[in-house]
Structures are given as structure tokens and as C-alpha cells.
Amino acid sequence: MKIAVCLKRVPDTETRIKIGADGRSIDEDGVKFILNPYDEYAVEQALQLKDSAGTGEVTAISLGSSASQETIRTALAMGVDRGILLETDALPLDPVPIGKALAAELGSGDYDLIFFGKVAIDDYSHAVGTIVSELLGIPSVSAVGRLEIADGKGTAEREIEGGVEVVEFSLPAVLTAEKGLNEPRYPALRGIMMAKKKPLEIKPVELEEGGLSVVELSVPPARPAGRIVGEGADAVPALVEALRTEAKVI
Amino acid sequence: MPFHGVDFLGIDSLFNEEELAVRDTVRRWVDDAVMPIIGDRYIAGEFPQELIGQMAELGLFGANLPEKYGCAGLNNVAYGLIMQELERGDSGIRSFASVQGALVMYPIYMFGNEEQKKEWLPKLASGEVVGCFGLTEPDYGSNPAGMITTARETDAGWTLNGTKMWITNGSTAQMAIIWAKTGDLDDPGSIRGFIVPTDAKGFTSKDQKGKISLRASDTSELALEDVCIPRDAVLSESAGIKSPLMCLTQARYGIAWGAVGAAMACYDEALNYAKTRMIFDKPIGSFQLQQLRLADMLTEITKAQLLCVQLGRLKDAGTMRPEQVSLAKRNNVNIATDIAREARRLLGANGILAEYQSMRHMTNLESVYTYEGTHDVHTLILGKAVTGISAFE
């Protein structure tokens, strides 16, 4: 089985984001970048499928700047066989040109399964995996929480409001990974050393401009201090009143 | 909150991509697997056995030994960074890895024959077998050449007699590297290493009770009473006191790095506390007294980091000398003990709780200060190195 996993380099969730001088991008100075956490589930699932089949190849593909090589190396250290960087200076906000560039690469790869994380934790667009499946004309299942592949078809479970939806699909297909799909492995130290010997192909790409542009970034307003409405049972009516009229949550 | 290390001087730029990836992987594992449990296990006085398999899977044991024996094949700088991160968690965790790698796998790799290497190294790397290192005796700590444990050749092989003390992993181990004299007791040149299964008849281990330091670590006393082992259990290339001392140089190298990790943990905790703990309506970090503490800690950590990097590059180049390791072990453990104590003080009353790390590191580091060559012995090694006059021989 040939499996592709699409990866994105994103700022560490612990990083305190500063807005850049242009007011429309983040200041990357001193920011630690990581493999998008949802993509880790995708990598792990691809590796588990290969391990259980005992054969196959897993390819990691990332679209981004040269620094994304490091992100691909992380996946190679986890056990992915080879990497492809679609190199571009800047990523547009619009997911459509990104989907198009990835689909152009993925379409020629003859993959049985294409994994994405369900969302990248920087722009939260939730869109690229689905766009790629549309462009390739193959089925997609998003936010997969459980997966089984057998006899050329797959069964995926996705959590929906108040229940679980079970979806059957044929291969090839695009799947986006939900948190909890598996427990991603740590890259073993040997894997880290082997990663630099694995093939990583760099292909420059030109992206279309897309229809979205960032007008302005701003940090959320500071949270107002809390207020203690009273103590003990006597305070309950005042609390209910505040929740109803001030917070408007009940 | 995940740990982000200390790097005031851009020291990360001295590491390559793989070295940083190794460090960050171990750092993350320590956050996930060690930090949530270590305080409780320290109080309970037990080594977290369940971590052995995870450490093996990551490839932490004997990580600087070759891949053909099932090891990670890392350079010594990456190996040092592993020790730093492990000791950021706890000196007991780092001690476990130091013993398994530098004191058990290393002597087999250096002094064992090919058969011994093939038999033991993969099992030790995979954690299937835990080893320990028996050199120190009740009356021979700083003077290991004086040991009175003997190995006598018999028709069947070797018979060992003696007592070994302060043996990390001693009650956990399935095998021990035991150092013993094969000749006269006044002949340190007759010291050789032996691979001894701990279930051999006459071999007993006893947990050393009552420790106030390294509580999350197994420290045991070993007794060997007419322990018979086959002829081929001897590490064939081991020859004299120099052999175990070479092992200690390896372990001390890791300790020099490890101490930096413990110091970083304390500094990090103290800094966060100083910024958030309010007194007189302002954070305690706004007082010059605490700023002095933090500035001193940061300065000493930074110097110790640079020592480690240079020592590691020398080791990788094959030019590192044992007295250079003494300098780094002596300095780094010493500053770490000071930093741990100052961090504990900065934390005020909270600092005596196991919920915080500094006092745990503070008590651990007293052992680290004392083992693998006491601070004083390293002082004398340096004294001998610069004057040419030995104070202890």
C-alpha cells in the first residue's frame, strides 16, 4: 500500500505569539515551530497501517518554506520512508491554492490513502484535506477517530453531535485525522539518525494567489477580572441572575 | 507547562539538527512520562520500573555505542544532551541510564570479546536485561585500587568472593559487572571485570534502606559468597584498575551534562515562581535579593553548558582527557547543588514540598556530588594534573 501524509509546520502551541510589524503576520523571531499535532496522528496511522501490512511505503509531503524540511525530518524520524517538500516562500491564507498544489503532486503519486491532520492549529481552516479529495475526485472522510482498512476498502468512525457516524469508503481516499485516533510514537533516537539518510526531495512550486487576504491580526482583548458574587447558598440567586443577564450563558 | 530549557547565550547554535532533535525528543518524553510521577515515586522511595521499557524503546541505553549492537550510534554530544534531559527529570532516572550505558554496556563493548558483545549489548540496549556495576566496596570508595573482592581461577572457571556497596540498580539487575582481583590483594594490576548473573548461587543483593537522597533509585549492597561463574565470564580485555576507571570517565562525562539538567530544572522553577508569587503586592522577582539569585543561577548554568559542549566535542574528536572530565564533573555538580539550594530557598515554604522539584534535586545532588569520584577527589585529580604531584598515591 502506498500512503501519503501531508504535513504542516506550525508554531508550537506553547509559543506566545507576537504580531509582526506589518500587522498582518506573526513575528517568527524566537518562535519554536513543530509538526502540526493533528498531523502526528496522521503520521502514526500511516505507519501503523504499513507496519500491520508488513509492506508498503509512507511518503510525507509538506508545502511551505525551506524550514519545513525540519518538519518532514520529524516524520522521517518517526519512521516515514521518504519526504517531498513543495517549496514556496509564503503560504496564502486561502486553502484553495494550497489544495491545488498538493493535489497536483498527490495525483501523480498513485497513493492508496492520503492522510491529513483534520486541521492545522495555526489558521484552523479545516479545509485542505477535503479540497484535495475534491480535486482528485476521490472520497474523503474528515475527523476520523477510528479506522479499519481491509480488502481494498475502509471503515472510519467519526464523532458527531451526540453519537458516532460509521462511514464506509473505497480506496483511494483522503482521510483527516482527529485527536485520539491513536497515540503518536516518539521518534526513536536511531530514527533521528536515520532520518538524515532518507530521501527528501525538494520541488519549487508557484502558488496561485487565491481569493483571501489577511487584513489585520489582533490579539484577543485581555479577560476582565472575575467577580465573586457572594458566598454559600445565599449567593445562588445572585449567581443565577449574573449568569442569565451578564454572562448570558443560561 | 512543558520545559523549554535554558539558553541565554545562544548555545543551541552550537548543536546540529540531529543533536537538537534528540534533545527535544527526550525532553518531551521526560515531560510526558517522568514529571507527572516522579514526586510521588520519590516520596515512595521506588524507582519507576515501568519507565525502563520506554527508555529502551527511545534508544536511551548506550546511545553512543554502535548500531550493530542494537544501540543508537549517536555522537557524544547527543549522548550528553540525553543525560541532561534525563536529569532534568530526576538524578535517579539519569543514574539508571548512566549505569546501564556507561558502566555496563561500555565495559562489555570495550573489554568484552565479540561473543560477549553480541550476546549482551542488544539485550541491554532493549532493556530486556538490566545491569549493574560492582566496583565500590564498604572500605574502598575513593580508593578502588585497594579492593578486597577476589576472583580465583578454578578447574570449572572462576570463584568470586567479596562485598560491593552503593550499587545503583543492584536489586533490579539480572546481571552485574563485578570487578575483582585475580592476584594478590596489593596488586591493582590484577583487577579484572566479570559478567555475573545475579541469580548465581551465593550472589545476594540488599536494598540500602534509609536514603534521604536519590530516593527514586535502587541503591543496593551486593554480597558474593563463593560465586562460581564459567571461565568465559571474564571480560577478556580488562586489565588492571585502569579498566574500571575508564568506565567511570564515561559515566562522569554523562554526569557533567546531567548536572546541568538538574540545575536548569531548579532555575526554571525558581524563575517561574519568582514571576508569579506575590508578596507585598508585587512578585517576589521584583526584589533585588531574588534577582541576584536568578542572575547567579543563570550565569553558572551558562558556563556549565559551555563546558559540556566543549568537552563533548573533545570526546567526539577522541582527544578528551580524564582530568578534563574531572573539571567538568566537579564544577557542574557543584554549581548544580548550589543552584538547587538557592532555588529551594527562593520558593520559601513551598520549596520543601515534593510538588516542587528543587528540594528533590537538592537532596539528589548531594549523592551526585559524592559518587563517581567525590568533589574532593576530583579536586585532587586536578591538583595532580597541574602540579604533577599526586596527593593521594
Question: B196-239 pLDDT, tens per residue?
Answer: 999 999 999 999 999 999 999 999 999 999 999 999 999 999 99
Asked whether residue B267 is domain-assigned, the answer is: yes
Domain count, chain A: 2
Sequence-distant (6+) residues with CB within 8 A of B303 are B331, B335
- Catalytically annotated residue among B46, B269, B372, B393: B372
Same domain for B220 and B253?
Answer: no
Asked whether residue A209 is domain-assigned, the answer is: no
Rounded to an integer, the average pLDDT of B22-27 is 96
Identify which of B4, B17, B58 has the shortest CB distance to residue A189.
Answer: B58
**pLDDT for the residue numbered B363:** 98
Same domain for B173 and B38?
Answer: no
3-state secondary structure chain B: CCCCCCCCCCHHHHCCHHHHHHHHHHHHHHHHHHHHHHHHHHHHCCCCCCHHHHHHHHCCCCCCCCHHHCCCCCCHHHHHHHHHHHHHHCHHHHHHHHHHHHHHHHHHHHHCCHHHHHHHHHHHHCCCCCEEEECCECCECCCHHHCCCEEEECCCEEEEEEEEEEEECCCCCCEEEEEEECCCCCCHHHEEEEEEECCCCCEEEEECCCCCCCCCCCEEEEEEEEEEEEHHHECCCCCCCHHHHHHHHHHHHHHHHHHHHHHHHHHHHHHHHHHHCEECCEEHHHCHHHHHHHHHHHHHHHHHHHHHHHHHHHHHHCCCCHHHHHHHHHHHHHHHHHHHHHHHHHCHHHHHCCCCCHHHHHHHHHHHHHCCCCHHHHHHHHHHHHHCCCCCC
**pLDDT for the residue numbered B303:** 98
Same domain for B307 and B221?
Answer: no
Which of B233, B256, B274 is the C-terminal boundary of a domain?
B233
- Domain membership of residue B139 as a residue range: 131-233
pLDDT at B330 > cutoff 90: yes
Same domain for A226 and A195?
Answer: no
Same domain for A244 and A174?
Answer: no
Same domain for B192 and B267?
Answer: no
CATH number of the domain enclosing B154: 2.40.110.10
Asked whether residue B59 is domain-assigned, the answer is: yes
Asked whether residue A250 is domain-assigned, the answer is: yes
Which of B169, B200, B233 is the C-terminal boundary of a domain?
B233
**pLDDT for the residue numbered B54:** 97
Rounded to an integer, the average pLDDT of B341-349 is 98
Same domain for A158 and A228?
Answer: no
Q: Does B65 touch chain A (CB under 8 A)?
A: no
Q: In chain B, what percentage of residues exceed pLDDT 90?
A: 98
Is B1–A193 a contact, with Cβ atoms under 8 angstroms apart? no
Identify which of A14, A74, A189 has the shortest CB distance to residue B22.
Answer: A189
Same domain for A197 and A224?
Answer: no
Domain count, chain B: 3
Q: Does B60 touch chain A (CB under 8 A)?
A: yes
Residues of A in contact with B73 (CB under 8 A): 190, 193
Find out whether A118 and A176 touch, Cβ atoms under 8 Å. Answer: yes
Asked whether residue B94 is domain-assigned, the answer is: yes
CATH number of the domain enclosing B19: 1.10.540.10
Is A189–B72 a contact, with Cβ atoms under 8 angstroms apart? yes
* B23 band by pLDDT with thresholds 50, 70 and 90: very high
Same domain for B215 and B326?
Answer: no
Measured from the Cβ of residue B2, the count of other Cβ atoms closer than 10 Å reads 12
Same domain for B184 and B224?
Answer: yes
HSE-up of residue A129 (Cα within 13 Å, Cβ side): 30
Provide the residue type at B372 as one letter: E
Is A189–B82 a contact, with Cβ atoms under 8 angstroms apart? yes
**pLDDT for the residue numbered B1:** 78
Mean pLDDT of chain B: 97
Which of B91, B125, B159 is the C-terminal boundary of a domain?
B125
Is B73–A73 a contact, with Cβ atoms under 8 angstroms apart? no
Q: Which residues of chain A have pLDDT under 70?
A: none
Question: What is the rounded CA–CA span in Å between residue B332 and residue B258?
Answer: 9
Is A189–B1 a contact, with Cβ atoms under 8 angstroms apart? no
Question: B38-60 pLDDT, tens per residue?
Answer: 999 999 999 999 999 999 999 99
Identify which of A14, A32, A192 has the shortest CB distance to residue B21.
Answer: A192
**pLDDT for the residue numbered B133:** 98
* B393 band by pLDDT with thresholds 50, 70 and 90: confident
Same domain for A47 and A79?
Answer: yes
Identify which of A14, A73, A196 has the shortest CB distance to residue B2.
Answer: A14
Question: What is the rounded CA–CA span in Å between residue B76 and residue B254?
Answer: 9
Question: What is the rounded CA–CA span in Å between residue B53 and residue B294?
Answer: 37
pLDDT at B339 > cutoff 90: yes
pLDDT at B345 > cutoff 90: yes
Question: What is the rounded CA–CA span in Å between residue B168 and residue B98?
Answer: 10
Asked whether residue B45 is domain-assigned, the answer is: yes
**pLDDT for the residue numbered A215:** 92
Q: How far is CA B157 from the centre of its chain?
A: 32
**pLDDT for the residue numbered A101:** 97
Question: What is the rounded CA–CA span in Å between residue B262 and residue B369?
Answer: 12
Asked whether residue B285 is domain-assigned, the answer is: yes
Is B18–A193 a contact, with Cβ atoms under 8 angstroms apart? yes
Same domain for B28 and B92?
Answer: yes
Taking each helix axis as running N to C, give the angle between helix B242-276 and helix B358-370, from 0 to 180 degrees, rounded to the nearest 10: 160
Same domain for A135 and A59?
Answer: yes
Same domain for A228 and A200?
Answer: no
- Domain membership of residue A231 as a residue range: 220-250
Asked whether residue B393 is domain-assigned, the answer is: no
B81: closest chain A residue by CA: A189
Asked whether residue A215 is domain-assigned, the answer is: no
* B135 band by pLDDT with thresholds 50, 70 and 90: very high
Residues of B in contact with A197 (CB under 8 A): none
Asked whether residue A212 is domain-assigned, the answer is: no
Q: What is the CA radius of gyration of chain A?
A: 21
Same domain for A46 and A151?
Answer: yes
Question: What is the rounded CA–CA span in Å between residue A31 and residue A21?
Answer: 15
Q: Does B18 touch chain A (CB under 8 A)?
A: yes
Same domain for A183 and A247?
Answer: no
Asked whether residue B314 is domain-assigned, the answer is: yes
Same domain for A184 and A249?
Answer: no
Asked whether residue B1 is domain-assigned, the answer is: no
DSSP output for A194-220: HHTTS-EEEEE------S-------PP
Question: B69-109 pLDDT, tens per residue?
Answer: 999 999 999 999 999 999 999 999 999 999 999 999 999 99
Residues of A in contact with B58 (CB under 8 A): 186, 188-189
What's the gap in Å between the CA of A115 and the closest CA on chain B?
23
What is the complex's ipTM, to 2 decimals? 0.82
Q: Check if B372 is active-site.
A: yes
Same domain for B282 and B376?
Answer: yes
